[in-house]
Each structure stands twice: as C-alpha cells, then as structure tokens.
Structure 1
C-alpha cells in the first residue's frame, strides 16, 4: 500500500514522464528517428493506464478495456500489412464505441435528443470535407465515414453536456472533446488534402493533441469518480 505522499510523488513522476516523452517524440519526428517513433502511442497508453491505476480508487475495468483497445490499435495501425491495418481499424472502432459508452455511463445521460442536436453540425462539417477530397481511396472511404460518425457522436456528447449539464467535471470533458476533434481534424486534413506535404508539418502537432486529449480524458474520469464518491458519502450520512 502506498502512503499518500508516495502516491502523490508517483503520480507526479508519471505525469512528468508522460509529457517528457512527448517532447522526445516531437524531436524524434522532426529528425525522423523512426525507431523511437514506433514506441510513441503504446508508451503513452501504458503510462495513462498506470496513472489511472495509481490515482483511482475505483479502478474501473471499463477504463482499462477502453485503453487496451487503444493500445492494440497503436501496435497494428502503423503496420504495412493489410491484415494488421484491418485489425488496427477494428480495435480503434471498438475503442471509440467503448469511449462513448464510458462517457455516457459516467455522466449518467438519459436524454439523447441534445446529443443528436449536437451531432448534426459535426457530421455535416466532416461529411462536407469528405466530399471535397480527391485523395481518398475507395478502401479508406468507408472507414472515414464510420470515423466521421463516431467523432461527431463524441462531439455531440461533449457539446450537449456543456450546455445542458453545467457541473463540476464539465471542463475536463469539454477540453477532451475540443482536443479530440482538433486531433481528428488535423489528421483528416493531412491524409485527405495535404498528403503530398512532409509528415513533419502535421505529426508533431498531432502528437501533442493526442497526449493532451487522452490526459484530459483521464482527468475527466478521475474527477467524475471523486464527485460521485462525494455524493454517495453525503447520501449515506443523511
């Protein structure tokens, strides 16, 4: 069992390691150190899982399953093998679905009409961008359609929660939503419109957005768990 002081030190050390690794990876991207770049996403995911294990009292299994599929994605999606890419895409689809379900579960959402309203502007923008691109292959088109829909659902949840459910843990969810949409937008622009440019134009930004978005998600989960625990303790006392 860790003491409170040791736990705080371990948490701070893991956060410092996480963001130090991002700096190393951005430098590696700028100088094309591919061996280091391969470890980027798996290490980030493992560090976030470890950080959640250290700080969470609940240690929700759903968090680890969600991040596990993200870990699987990071191992397969960058491969040159068609089979590995398909596995990576399926794992990423599972990750997105679990992520959306987890957020809905944590927020205890019951009214889905505001989510549908918030979904519309996102799906309209991404669908319009999809129709404008001439660089999308037939094989990747349907994958992008599905990803557009999932990102739009995530954006709809965050947007509806911001306006309809002003509570203590909204800021971290809002930050996560903004960074996630920005990350997808950056990758979408790179792959579909500016693929002829060197990856160093976009990937350092994508790396930073990737880490900060999932760190925000982790903070949202932790803060939400703490608030739920406080509410339950108040009910028990009453």
Structure 2
C-alpha cells in the first residue's frame, strides 16, 4: 500500500474512532440506549483495523484481547447485574491477554519496585471492595480475580515507568491508571451510588485508555520488527 494512502486511511480511522467514541459518550449522558447500541460496539473493530493497518509484526494475543473487549463492551451496554457479570468475565479474559502480552514483551521489574508499584492500586481496589462487597453476590469471585489482575498490571506498569519512563512505559501507565479509575467508577455506580455523569466519564476514559494501550503495543511491535530485521541482516 502506498504510504500516502496508508497515512490517509490511518487518519480517517483515528478520526472515526474518536468520533464514534464521542457519540457513545454523549449517548451515555443522554441515556439514549439506541444511540449507545449503534456506536459503542464499533470501537473495538475500528481499533482492530487501525492495528492491522499499522503493525508490521502483529500480535495475535492482542488481537484476541480486542475481541474479548468487544464482547465485554456489548454486554456492558445493557448494564444490568447479569450482563455486567458476563461482561466482567470477558473483560477478565481481555485483561489476562493484555498482561500476557506485556509480560512477554517487557522485562519484568525487580520485586521491590513491583511491590511498591502495587501499593496504590491495592488501596484503590480495597476501597472499592469495602464499599460494594455485600452487593456483588454471585459475582464476588470474579470481582476479586479481576482485582488481582488490576493490581498486578498496575504494579507492573508503575514499576517499569519509575525505572524507565520511556514512551511505551508512559503510555502503559496512563492507560492502566485510566482503566483502574474506570473500574472504580463503574463499580461504585452500579452497586453503591448511581450518578448520571459517572457512565459518560468512565466511557470517555475507556476510549482514551484503549487508544493509548493500542499505541503502546504498536510501538512495541515496531521495536521488535526493527530488532529482528537488524539481527537478520535485513
């Protein structure tokens, strides 16, 4: 594909991603379920095409993660306790795939920085758990497992950022922080205190967080391809 054509398509897809994301945020604020159903499910497919277009060495696990996230998004649209449970299951699969992708590609930090990095995420999660634990009922085990992965990912990204605050680690940390606050807001809104503005705020953060994660994975793909080409004599 011609570079100019590829650049043009890339720009259109990015614009479309944030346009769809903006429509989804507005629909959440207006509580327009029809508009949400025709906007939010397009986010992950657009991101998939962006990734497919731009990555020279595609990561199949990340593509699978996008698929899990897409299923979770569809389930979260209804926002009932049953669909949230189903969506949380697929979001857990998404988080496992993301953790695998990052650990497989980024050197694991030393234990002490990692444990220190886990501390703020642990306290955020414990705060949420204390507020909603009695209301979760049959989803309590899934809630705790999601929390373990959230704390692990938070400690991993924060420790790597402290040790080496390059572009990839910065993008990953911001993305992880946004995902952490999303879980905090969504859980509080569903089980503890319902406030209208919570859902559009969490969705806006989701749109940005997922895009930043895509950019981080894309940067890692380019670095790996450059490394392979260098050592293969290409």
TM range (shorter): 0.7 to 0.9
Distance 1:226 1:64 in 2: 16
| 2:6 alignment counterpart | 7
Deviations 1:59-110 (A, max 9, x none): 2211111111111222334458887655433222211111111111121437
| 1:231 alignment counterpart | 227
- TM-score, reference length from structure 2: 0.87
150 and 39 in structure 1: CA distance in 2 versus 1, 3 angstrom threshold:
farther
234 and 87 in structure 1: CA distance in 2 versus 1, 3 angstrom threshold:
same
Equivalent pair of 1:135/1:192 in contact (CA under 8 Å)? no
| 1:158 alignment counterpart | 157
SS in 2 for 1:172: helix
Equivalent pair of 1:159/1:174 in contact (CA under 8 Å)? yes
In structure 1, stretches of 5+ residues that fail to align are none
Say which of 202, 216, 229 aligns to 1:220.
Answer: 216
- TM-score, reference length from structure 1: 0.86
99 and 23 in structure 1: CA distance in 2 versus 1, 3 angstrom threshold:
same
* Count of residue correspondences: 234
Which structure has more helix as a fraction of its residues?
A: 2
In structure 2, stretches of 5+ residues that fail to align are none
Equivalent pair of 1:41/1:71 in contact (CA under 8 Å)? no
| 1:88 alignment counterpart | 87
Matches within 5 A, 1:1-238: 2-79=1-78, 86-109=85-108, 111=110, 114-133=113-132, 136-195=135-194, 197=195, 200-236=196-232
Equivalent pair of 2:168/2:219 in contact (CA under 8 Å)? yes
128 and 79 in structure 1: CA distance in 2 versus 1, 3 angstrom threshold:
closer
Equivalent pair of 2:128/2:184 in contact (CA under 8 Å)? no
1:52: Cα distance to partner?
0.2
130 and 230 in structure 1: CA distance in 2 versus 1, 3 angstrom threshold:
same
1:55: Cα distance to partner?
0.7
Deviations 1:102-145 (A, max 9, x none): 11112143755533332233123311332244762322333322
Distance 2:60 2:97 in 1: 12
